[in-house]
């Protein structure tokens, strides 16, 4: 089993690069079909979604616009929605079809803040595309249209996801394990 170490923790392989690639292509095909006559804005949430979004957007064949927003949750796992900071670029979203591209939806606080903010710009539609989804951790009821993989509520790194800002660069996704 492939393993990596980051700081004091060990992680083992959860989802391989090949499996991710297969699923990314399926998601891109689905988006191609659903938005066949549209020109959606892919709204990337930084930093976690960088790698997923870069792969996904290159598999999508309809023309898309790429925009970014920084979504940073402070005091991660705390139970107040006010801990999410959003830093946005000034762009016109009125009447546009937005697909939010996220690496992971965990409690849903980040996504909920993001949805509330983006709705203020009066887009025509907003959907969510997340690589990973932890349904057992979801606190805020949100509808996620495109999900790469549903996973248990355990700590994961790689393919954009970090532990203490490290490990985003790995091609596979790893799960934290106890040291033997």
Residues β-bridged to residue 67:
43
Cβ burial of 9 (10 Å; 0-12, 13-18, 19+) is middle
Return the axis-axis angle of helices 50-59 and 17-34, rounded to nearest 10°: 60
- Assess 28 for contact with ligand PRP (CB under 6 A): no
Backbone angles phi, psi at 92, to 5 degrees: -85, 115
Q: Which CB sits closer to ligand PRP, 54 or 124?
A: 54
Contact yes or no for 19/177 (Cβ under 8 A): no
Applying CB under 6 A, the span of 2-10, 17-25, 66-74, 121-129 interacting with ligand PRP comes to 66-74
Q: What minimum distance in Å lies between the beta carbon of 36 and ligand PRP?
A: 29
- Assess 157 for contact with ligand PRP (CB under 6 A): no
Query: What's the rounded Cα separation, in Å, for the pair 19 and 96?
Result: 32
Q: Which CB sits closer to ligand PRP, 18 or 85?
A: 85
Report the residue from 17, 59, 62, 73 that binds ligand PRP according to the rule CB under 6 A.
Answer: 73
The yes-or-no answer on residue 32 being catalytic is no
The catalytic site residues sit at 106
Which residues are near ligand PRP by CB under 6 A?
Answer: 45, 47-48, 71-73, 76, 102-111, 162
């Amino acid at each position: 089993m492939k393993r990596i170490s980051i700081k004091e923790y060990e992680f083992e392989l959860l989802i391989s690069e090949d499996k991710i690639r297969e699923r990314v292509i399926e998601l891109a095909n689905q988006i191609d079909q659903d938005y066949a006559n549209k020109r959606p804005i892919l709204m990337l949430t930084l930093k976690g979604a960088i790698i997923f979004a870069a792969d996904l957007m290159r598999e999508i064949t309809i023309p898309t616009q790429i925009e970014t927003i920084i979504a940073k949750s402070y005091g991660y796992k705390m139970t107040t929605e006010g801990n999410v900071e959003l830093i946005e670029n000034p762009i016109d979203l009125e009447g546009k079809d937005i697909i939010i591209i996220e690496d992971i939806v965990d409690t849903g606080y980040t996504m909920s803040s993001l949805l509330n903010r983006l709705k203020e710009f009066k887009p025509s539609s907003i959907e969510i595309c997340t690589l990973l989804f932890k349904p057992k951790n979801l606190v805020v009821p949100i509808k996620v249209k495109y999900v790469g993989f549903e996973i248990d509520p355990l700590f994961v790194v790689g393919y954009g996801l970090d532990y203490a800002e490290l490990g985003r660069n790995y091609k596979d996704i790893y799960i934290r394990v106890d040291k033997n």
